[in-house]
A and B are shown apart, each in its own frame.
Chain A
Amino acid sequence: MLLRLMPTVVLALLAGPILAGVAMVLLPAFGHLPALGGETFSLAPWRELLDQPGLARSVSISLASGLITTALSLAAVLLFLAAAADTRLDRWLHRAVSPLLALPHAAAAFGLAFLVAPSGLLARLFSPGLTGWERPPDLLIVQDPWGLGLMAGLVIKEIPFLMLMSLAALPQLDAPRRVALARSLGYRPTIAWLKGVAPALYPLIRLPVYAVIAFASSVVDVAMILGPTLPPTLAVSILEWFHDPDLEKRFLASAGAMLQLGVTLTALLVWWGLECLARRLGRGWVVNGRRRGGEHWLSLTGRGFLVITTLTAGLGLGGLALYSVAGFWRFPETLPTTLTLGHWQTALPLLGGPVTNTLIIAASATLLAMLLTLATLESEQRSGRRIAGLSLLYLPLIVPQIAFLFGLVVLMETLGIRARLALVILAHLLFVLPYTFLSMAESYRCFDPRWTRLALTLGHSPNAIFWRVRLPMLLASLLTAAAVGMAVSIGQYLPTLLLGAGRIATVTTEAVSLASGGNRRVIGVWALVQAALPLLGFIIAMGLPRLLWSNRRGMQGAP
């Protein structure tokens, strides 16, 4: 009974705040916000928005970055999985997934910037020896007007995410047997995987792919570090308008937020169109009977791409670590002239409280999210039909945070809720739940129904099947989803600050406020601290199934 109500409870608990949040964007977008003197409805904010210089360019870059980033990351992941064999390099690349996923987006972006900027590590490595540069060259590399730097930074972070989602889904597909079958028909290994496994895998990772599109088209922090500046992407412009001391700009910002919602939806729609196209074109390719065309080239691309992005992220992280202990570091010296632990010594005494808060919030939000996710999915399984309206859960991923959180704060203030910690956990839940849900949903829904039927015929109750068959067999996906949830929670800045009224300091609130000072050494320290916590979660998620199922090879889940 309780279980049957779960989906409704989840929707009521989450859709309410979300819709209230969105309404609080919609109203000011049409000029209504009495607290700032907007008493009537008008189209003025939209007219002002359309008059903004460079708006078309901002929008096209947001759109392009959503689509191109996703296409590149997905292609790289599929090609790599197709080409991966049990070589040492491949195992190493598999293992690198979690640390990369744990790395906060902003830290990865800083890492990339520190690496490829004209005064970055690479230039230092080859200067002045090979390049003859005594000073950093005046080159437009990061923050280029075409958004290439932005897309590169996003690809580095989205590949591990899609990879992890794929690895979590793959065990259900029995990929090795599919490949073996195709190979027995004479297909080369990579082609066998691409034709035999990929078409079955894609539906399982479709929601994560959509999340990547939404994220890449509306991301703020990475775009501020690596994105174009004249004009910046739409999401960054919106943030600037919201931050403008001229409070009238908030109407403009709200209209911009609605436009951003439209841009993200457009990107999703275009992708959906591409999916249809790919399905039509791909069907012919899958069954055309060619068994080796491009094998070598495809496998080289997949691995090459992964090696480059992993190395880049690794070197970037190394750069951050180096900066965190650097004394003065003049160009073109490859290493800092002096090393110091001073930056760490300043930071360490400040860590205790924030780390505790971060862990309490992340653990509670993730636990709640996992309970709600499992209850909803299980209730769906038992009723045998998909629940309508669940897509509302994804709203927090596509509405720009800053716009929608404002509405949430107003709602909570109106209700007089002052329990800061509980509020922050609830706010994190809004962002954690979509991710745990999309990490779990497809593997749960596609769980081979024959297991359930088999258990039923053996006389077990649905509850027993849930606890003794489904949960254990889905343990790897479950833990992965929890680790992703933890990472999402740990990375939240605005929800923590606004709903906690700034009274709950986490590692991320400290890191972001310090990063605004632009001190690379301090950024290095806090980025490493910020990456260390989620990493812990991923290590547990990866290690536990192996430990528990050390006697069952097929149950060890994601490698």
Chain B
Amino acid sequence: MLQYRPARLTTALTCVSLGLASATPLAASPNLDDWQAVREQARGQTVYWNAWGGDTRTNGYIAWVAERMAEDHGVEVVHVKLDDTSTAVSRVIAEKAANNLGDGSIDLIWLNGENFAAMREHELLYGPFTEALPNFALTRPADNPEVITDFTLPTEGFESPWGKAQITFYYDSHELRGDSDELRGDSQEVENPPGSIEALLDWSRANPGRFSYPRIPDFTGSTFLKQALIALADDRQPLYAPVEESDFATITAPLWDYLDALHPHLWRGGRQFPNSGPELRSLMGAGELSLAFTFYPSEPAAAVADFELPASTRSYVLNDGTLGNVHFVAIPFNSPNKAGALVLADFLLSPEAQAHKQDLAVWGDRTVLDVAHLDDATRRRFTIDADSPAMLPPEALSRTLPEPHPSWMTALQEAWQARYVAQ
């Protein structure tokens, strides 16, 4: 009796699969030399775009993109909202494991850094394709290497730039300046927020429990470690090569000394850390922290508009600059709607889409286009709206530090956990 069961199971499942499987032919790869043909092919396709869905403003922008794509290109765009990009990566791996080489369920992924490096290494991406996108030239990659470099790795045309992020600190000016009668206003020193990693330690000593960073291995938290390491390391050069090529212990020694000194003065005495970047923002809103940072320069202003942060919120960048990077979109190797995905990636690079994205009322994510080289009329669309005092002045973001090699992130994460977990 028992030995028949597996056979029966297979029969049952085969019946199901015969009944339900749709025999989609493998979609022909688009001819990248003929953009007009790609557009023709794209018409009528449905593009499933897997993108983090944790922000109502981002979601709203993607909904707008979907509308415009339907109007202009006859492509239906469906936003698959993720809580974590790795869920989409899982899906692609599962499809590859099942030998699904031409009929995948994901057509475009929003990603960068480690996720890109990993997908590229395991050959899960389609490309190179960026050179074929007519709007890609507007980023002027020759002058702006950041649009073709992702955490020091050349993108080699396997992902198309979409927006820019940079570590931005923010604080409640009301509280730091101390001009509120209900909060203490005894010191002039706290008037200015700390402008460097070293000053942050002094500031934390003077304001114990009012700052923290997300728990490693969180992305934002790990970026704080890199930021601190860049500021504290005697020689930055090794950080831009694989970590194996340098003496990790010696280079990172100043970082651990710094963190050992900093932790007792952090929120919860450094015995606990917030889970994520968004949680930092929640804690700021609840008044548990006085100083925090984010990867998205427009986040503080957007949070003020959403009543999450007080109107007295102000943003700034450290004096020597902060880490910044570009985020991208990529096409999985087995997407059946590559033409549609290409047209979408190109639309995302159009001045119209880029300007709309930069509008603080929409999302506030900064453009990857080389605005200075656009024609006058187009350039005017990119004037940054400085109405919100919580918004960073546009010139502040010129002080951008490049991301170290991705292997440093992993090494720092492991070292941090070995040092501070279960102490």
Bound Cα distance from A505 to B309, whole angstroms: 30
Cβ of B340 < 8 Å from any Cβ of A? no
Residue contact B54 to A503, C-beta cutoff 8 Å: no
- A115 → chain B closest CB, angstroms: 13
Known contacts A406-B94, A409-B91; is-contact A519 B20 (Cβ 8 Å): no
Residue contact B20 to A418, C-beta cutoff 8 Å: yes
Residue among B54, B271, B272, B286 with the highest chain A CB neighbour number at 10 A: B286
Bound Cα distance from A247 to B97, whole angstroms: 14
Residue contact B272 to A229, C-beta cutoff 8 Å: yes
Residue contact B88 to A230, C-beta cutoff 8 Å: no
Q: CB-defined interface of B97-114 with A at 8 Å, one 1/0 digit per residue? A: 111100101100000011
Residue contact B17 to A143, C-beta cutoff 8 Å: no
Cβ of A547 < 8 Å from any Cβ of B? no
Nearest CB to that of A520 among chain B residues? B282
Residue contact B87 to A497, C-beta cutoff 8 Å: yes
Known contacts A245-B113, A516-B54; is-contact A501 B91 (Cβ 8 Å): yes
Contacts of B352 in A (CB 8 A): none
Of B158-166, B273-281, B341-349, the one contacting chain A is B273-281
Cβ of B387 < 8 Å from any Cβ of A? no
Of B8-16, B361-369, B388-396, the one contacting chain A is B8-16
Cβ of B82 < 8 Å from any Cβ of A? yes
Known contacts A136-B288, A518-B281; is-contact A246 B410 (Cβ 8 Å): yes
- B419 → chain A closest CB, angstroms: 8
Residue among B14, B114, B269, B285 with the highest chain A CB neighbour number at 10 A: B285
Nearest CB to that of A236 among chain B residues? B275
Contacts of B208 in A (CB 8 A): 138
- B7 → chain A closest CB, angstroms: 9
Which B72-92 residues have a C-beta within 8 angstroms of A?
Answer: 78, 80-91
Q: Which of B82, B114, B286 contacts A246 (CB 8 A)?
A: B114
Which B367-423 residues have a C-beta within 8 angstroms of A?
Answer: 410, 417-418, 420-423
Residue contact A519 to B288, C-beta cutoff 8 Å: no
- A253 → chain B closest CB, angstroms: 10
Which A37-51 residues have a C-beta within 8 angstroms of B?
Answer: 37
Known contacts A230-B422, A502-B82; is-contact A244 B90 (Cβ 8 Å): no
Q: Which of A15, A134, A138, A517 contacts B209 (CB 8 A)?
A: A138
Of B45-53, B232-240, B249-257, the one contacting chain A is B45-53
Q: CB-defined interface of A515-544 with B at 8 Å, one 1/0 digit per residue? A: 111111110000000000000000000000
Residue contact A245 to B118, C-beta cutoff 8 Å: yes
Residue contact A53 to B418, C-beta cutoff 8 Å: yes
Contacts of B88 in A (CB 8 A): 502
Cβ of A477 < 8 Å from any Cβ of B? no
Q: Which of B184, B272, B311, B423 contacts A143 (CB 8 A)?
A: B272
Nearest CB to that of A142 among chain B residues? B272
Which A124-160 residues have a C-beta within 8 angstroms of B?
Answer: 134-136, 138, 140, 143, 145
Q: Which of A247, A410, A513, A519 contacts B83 (CB 8 A)?
A: A513
Contacts of B16 in A (CB 8 A): 415, 417
Cβ of B96 < 8 Å from any Cβ of A? yes
Known contacts A242-B90, A501-B91, A514-B56; is-contact A13 B9 (Cβ 8 Å): yes
Report B's interface with A, CB cutoff 8 A.
Answer: 5-6, 8-9, 12-14, 16-17, 20-22, 24, 48, 50, 52-56, 78, 80-91, 93-100, 103, 105-106, 113-115, 117-118, 121-122, 182-184, 208-209, 215, 217, 267-269, 271-273, 275-279, 281-283, 285-288, 306-311, 410, 417-418, 420-423
- Given A229-B272, A409-B90, A519-B306, 13 more A-B residue pairs with CB atoms under 8 Å apart are A52-B417, A53-B422, A117-B286, A230-B273, A340-B307, A409-B94, A414-B98, A414-B99, A497-B87, A498-B87, A518-B279, A520-B285, A522-B56
What are 17 inter-chain pairs, A to B, with CB distance below 8 A? A35-B96, A53-B418, A140-B271, A246-B118, A247-B122, A331-B286, A418-B20, A493-B83, A502-B50, A502-B82, A502-B88, A512-B83, A513-B53, A514-B81, A517-B54, A518-B281, A521-B308
Report A's interface with B, CB cutoff 8 A.
Answer: 8-9, 11-13, 15-16, 33-37, 52-54, 56-57, 117-119, 134-136, 138, 140, 143, 145, 224, 229-231, 240, 242-247, 250, 326-331, 338, 340, 342, 346, 406, 409-419, 422, 493-494, 497-498, 501-503, 505, 509-510, 512-522
